[in-house]
């Protein structure tokens, strides 16, 4: 699945005077000043870190954790039931062949149920996380753009992923500045945002299983 935030983002900004802009100066001359001051400046930014470290990102993370808590508990219960069945099959030496066959069939059914629920859980969680990244990231781009223009940056490199940046002076890292400016531009309220239905959340989820070892699991 393609991430909404690219692992290598280059913002080409109009910080360096173009030939047209230079022509607007008296006599068509470049403005006076040391050449270094007019040189293109480069900065690095960890966009993903900025998103999850912002106040809005932390709030969204807490909301997702609460939203998916029941399904996480259901998976943990199913995993425990599988472990209990497996232990019984491996350690109970007095099981009849008929009972061992029944428990083995039960284990297979429960394992398929667990795998399906786990896949659904991971898919829905990924969709919800991507929605948060896209929502915050789109607003953060405006903050980045404004910061770059105000600080005469020609290029901002995103070092969130495995990009081609092998070294960067920490002094050109603007991640903390962007987090601070984003929190100022988009303050969060004390109360959490109203719960919104996330993509992929329409499928009904049964209550957590309370099955004891030896009982038949629900048919998948």
Contact 106, 85 (CB under 8 A): yes
pLDDT at res. 11: 35
CA 11/CA 6 separation, integer angstroms = 12
What is residue 77's predicted lDDT score, i.e. its pLDDT? 97
d(CA 157, CA 10): 5
| 210 is a domain residue | no
Percent of the chain clearing pLDDT 70 (strictly above): 67
**More confident position, 122 or 162:** 122
Domain count, the chain: 1
Q: What is the pLDDT of residue 66?
A: 96
Cβ contacts of 128 within 8 Å, gap of 6 or more: 64, 67, 68, 198, 199, 200, 201
Per-residue pLDDT reduced to its tens digit, 10-57: 333 323 333 323 233 344 444 444 444 445 699 999 999 999 999 999
Residue whose structure tokens are 């009972």: 99
Question: What is the three-class DSSP state of 41?
Answer: strand
Range of the domain at 39: 19-24+34-185
Q: What is the mean pLDDT of residues 145-170?
A: 88
50: in domain: yes
Q: How many residues does the chain have?
A: 220
Helical (H) or strand (E) element with 99: helix 97-150
Give the chain's mean pLDDT: 77
What pLDDT, on the 0 to 100 scale, is given for residue 189?
Answer: 85
Q: What is the pLDDT of residue 191?
A: 62
Between helix 69-91 and helix 97-150 the angle, nearest 10°, is: 150
Picking from 8-22, 70-84, 126-140, 188-202, which range would have the lowest pLDDT averaged per residue? Answer: 8-22
Banded model confidence at residue 125, pLDDT cuts 50, 70, 90: very high
Q: If you search the block for the tokens 């199913």, which residue do you land on?
A: 78
What number of other Cβ atoms are within 10 A of residue 149's Cβ? 13
Q: What value does the mean pLDDT take over residues 128-132?
A: 95
Which tokens go with 103?
Answer: 């428990």
* 125 in any annotated domain: yes
Residue 156 covered by a domain: yes
What are the φ/ψ torsions at residue 108 (nearest 5 degrees)? -65, -40
In a domain, 123, yes or no: yes
Residue 76 domain flag:
yes
SS3 10: strand
Read off the pLDDT of residues 53-81 as tens digits, 9 standing for 90 and up. Answer: 999 999 999 999 999 999 999 999 999 99
In this prediction the pTM is: 0.63
Residue 190 located in a structural domain:
no
Residue 6 in domain: no
Q: What pLDDT score was predicted for residue 39?
A: 58
- The CATH number given to whatever domain includes residue 158 is 3.30.910.20
Q: How many whole angstroms separate alpha carbon 105 and alpha carbon 112?
A: 11
The predicted structure's pLDDT at residue 31: 44
């Amino acid at each position: 699945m393609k991430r909404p935030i690219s692992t290598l983002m280059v913002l080409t900004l109009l910080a360096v005077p173009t030939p047209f802009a230079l022509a607007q100066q008296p006599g068509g001359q470049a403005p006076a000043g040391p050449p270094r001051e007019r040189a293109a400046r480069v900065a690095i930014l960890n966009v993903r870190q900025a998103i999850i470290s912002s106040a809005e990102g932390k709030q969204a993370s807490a909301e997702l954790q609460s939203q998916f808590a029941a399904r996480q508990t259901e998976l943990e219960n199913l995993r425990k039931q599988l472990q209990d069945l497996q232990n019984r099959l491996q350690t109970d030496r007095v099981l009849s062949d008929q009972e061992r066959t029944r428990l083995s069939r039960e284990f297979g059914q429960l394992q398929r149920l667990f795998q399906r629920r786990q896949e659904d859980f991971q898919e829905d969680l990924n969709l919800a996380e991507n929605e948060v990244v896209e929502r915050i990231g789109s607003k953060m781009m405006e903050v980045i753009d404004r910061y770059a223009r105000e600080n005469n940056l020609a290029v901002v490199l995103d070092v969130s992923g495995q990009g081609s940046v092998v070294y960067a002076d920490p002094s050109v890292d603007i991640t903390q500045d962007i987090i601070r400016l984003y929190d100022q531009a988009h303050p969060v309220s004390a109360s959490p945002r109203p719960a919104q239905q996330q993509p992929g959340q329409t499928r009904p989820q049964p209550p957590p299983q309370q099955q004891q070892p030896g009982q038949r699991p629900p048919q998948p």
